[in-house]
Structure 1
Amino acid sequence: MQTPLPPPPPQSSSSSCILPSPLNKQTRMSPFRAMVLSKQSRNHLDKLTPKTPLYMIRDKPILTQPQKTKPIVWFAAILCMIFTLLIIFFGVAILIVFLAVQPKTPVFDTPGASLTAIYFNSPQYIGNDMTFLANFSNPNRKLRVRFQSLYFELFFAERLIAAQAIQPFSQGPGEVRLVPVHLLPTLVYAPPNLAMELQKQGQRNRVEYRMKGTFKVRVSLGSLHYSYRLLGDCQMEMTSPPNGVLIAHTCKTTK
C-alpha cells in the first residue's frame, strides 16, 4: 500500500508577492505630467483598458509642420533691408563730401554807414534817414551760395524804428560783395522817454543803433544743394546828423 504524499505547506501571507500591473504603473503620472499632456494624449488614455498592451500605453509624440512665411512678410523684410542700405550709403556719401569740402558759414558785416537825419514829430513819433553798407563774404573755396529773403531791421534801445528788404543775389567761392541799403525815413511810435534818449544821444554826438539782418542761404555743389537760415547782428555807434558816420561797430553771424 502506497503512502499518500503530504499536502504542500501553506504559503504564508508574508511570502506572497503581487506584481504590479504594468497598466497601473504606466498610468500613474505626476501632477506636472498630467498638466502638460495634450488633448490628443488624454483622449488616447481614456480609450485604454486593463488588457491593453504596454506598447500602446506610451505617449505618442505630436509632430507639427512649421508654418510657411507669408510672401508679404518677405516683401516687407526686403523693403526694410533696401531702405537701410540706402540710408547707410547716403550717410557715408554725405560724410565724405563734408570732409572733402568742409563748408563754412558766410559772414555778414557793416563796414560803413551814414546818418543824414533824425526826425521828431511830437514826443511820441521818431524816425531817421540812414544808409549803410552790407558786406557779404563767402569763405568757401568750392561752394557757391545764394542769399534769398534778405531783410534788415534797425533798432534804437530795442525799439524797431526802420526796416528794409533787398533783392537776392549769388556769390561764387571766396567772393565778397558790398550792397548799399537805404533805410527809408519813416515815423514810428515811441514812448516819450525813448524819444528823449535819442535826442540826448544826438546832442552828445554819439548815437547807438542795433542792426539785424535775416537771410536764407542756399549752398550749392554741382547738383547737390541745401538751405539754412542765417542771422546777422551788429551793434553800431554813429555821430550825429546831418553828417553822421559810423565810428564803431561789432558784428556777428550765426545760424
Structure 2
Amino acid sequence: MRKRVLEPERRTNPLIWCAALICTVLTIAVIITGFAVFVGYLVLRPKVPQMSVKSARLESIDYDMAGILAVKVSIVIAGQNDNARAHASFYKTSYALSFGGVKLAYLNAEAFDVPKNSSRELYYLVESTPIPLSPEQGETVEAALRQSHVAFDLKGTSRTRWRIWMLGSVKFWLHLDCQLKLPLDRTTLYPKCSTKSR
C-alpha cells in the first residue's frame, strides 16, 4: 500500500487578506451611513421647498381693430420652505407668461434665501409692449373678452437647494405650469398652483 504524499500547505497571500479587510470595513461603513441617513430622514421628515402662485390680477387689457394687444398683469409668486430645521435657497428662477402661444414677458428673479419654516414673496407687474396678433390669435382675444376672462399660461423652472443635517446638501429642479384665467373686472385670483420637483 502506497503512502499518500502530503502536499505543502498553501497560505493565503497577505494582500488578499488586506483587500478582504478593506472591503469588510467599507461595507460596514456603508451600512452604518445608510442607517444614519434613514433615521435622520425619519426624524427630520424633510420637505421639498416649493414655488407657488399666490395671486394674480389683470390690471388692464387693450385690443384694437388693427389686431394689436397690450396687457398689464400683476402676479405674486412665493418661495415656500416648510422645513422646520433647514434653510433653503432658490436660484435660476425664470417663468414665461404667455397668451395664446405668444410670449408676453419673462419673470426672472435673482437668487434668494428662505429661512426655516418661512416663505418669501416675489412681486411682478408685467406690462407688455404692443403685440401684433394673427387673425386666429385675434379671434382668441375676442372670445376671451366675450367670456369676461382672459387665460394666460405661466410656465418655467426654479432651482432649490437646502442642507439637511447629515443628509448633506439636497438640490431639485422645480417646474411650474399654470393656467391663469383672470377676470376682466380686475378681481384678484388666488390660484392653487405650485411647482413639481424633479
Matching residue of 1:252: 194
Q: Do 2:104 and 2:128's aligned partners in 1 also have CA atoms closer than 8 Å?
A: no
Matching residue of 1:50: none
After TM superposition, give the deviation of residue 114 of structure 1 in Å.
3.3
How many residue pairs match? The answer is: 195
Change (3 A) 1:146 1:118: farther
After TM superposition, give the deviation of residue 159 of structure 1 in Å.
5.5
Matching residue of 1:104: 47
After TM superposition, give the deviation of residue 222 of structure 1 in Å.
5.5
Matching residue of 2:9: 66
Larger Rg: 1
Task: Encode CA deviations 1:76-130: one digit per residue, 9 max, x unaligned.
Answer: 222211221221121111111111111123233223223334568976x866443
Q: Please report the RMSD computed on the Cα atoms of aligned residues, expressed in angstroms.
A: 3.0
Matching residue of 1:185: 128
After TM superposition, give the deviation of residue 151 of structure 1 in Å.
1.2
Matching residue of 1:238: 182
Out of 83, 88, 95, the residue aligned to residue 152 of structure 1 is: 95
Matching residue of 1:27: none
Out of 107, 110, 115, the residue aligned to residue 164 of structure 1 is: 107
Q: Which runs of 5+ in 1 are unaligned?
A: 1-57
User: Helix, strand or coil for the counterpart of 1:85?
Assistant: helix
Matched, 1:113 2:56: yes
Change (3 A) 1:229 1:105: same
Q: Structure 1 length as normaliser, TM-score?
A: 0.64
Alignment partners' CA distance in 2, 1:141 and 1:120? 52
Q: Which runs of 5+ in 2 are unaligned?
A: none
Matched, 1:219 2:123: no
Matched, 1:93 2:36: yes
Where is the strand percentage greater, Structure 1 or Structure 2? 2
Alignment partners' CA distance in 2, 1:73 and 1:188? 74
Matching residue of 1:51: none
Q: Do 2:55 and 2:75's aligned partners in 1 also have CA atoms closer than 8 Å?
A: yes
Out of 76, 83, 86, the residue aligned to residue 133 of structure 1 is: 76
Deviates more, 1:70-79 or 1:153-162: 153-162
Change (3 A) 1:152 1:245: farther
Q: Structure 2 length as normaliser, TM-score?
A: 0.79
Matched, 1:208 2:175: no
Change (3 A) 1:217 1:189: farther
Q: Do 1:144 and 1:171's aligned partners in 2 also have CA atoms closer than 8 Å?
A: yes
User: Helix, strand or coil for the counterpart of 2:191?
Assistant: strand
Task: Encode CA deviations 1:139-174: one digit per residue, 9 max, x unaligned.
Answer: 221111111111112233466443221111111122
Alignment partners' CA distance in 2, 1:61 and 1:182? 97
User: Helix, strand or coil for the counterpart of 2:98?
Assistant: strand
Matching residue of 1:33: none
Change (3 A) 1:100 1:112: same
Q: Do 1:236 and 1:246's aligned partners in 2 also have CA atoms closer than 8 Å?
A: no
Change (3 A) 1:156 1:59: farther
Matching residue of 1:143: 86
Change (3 A) 1:160 1:74: farther
Higher RCO structure, 1 or 2 (CA under 8 Å, sep 6+): 2
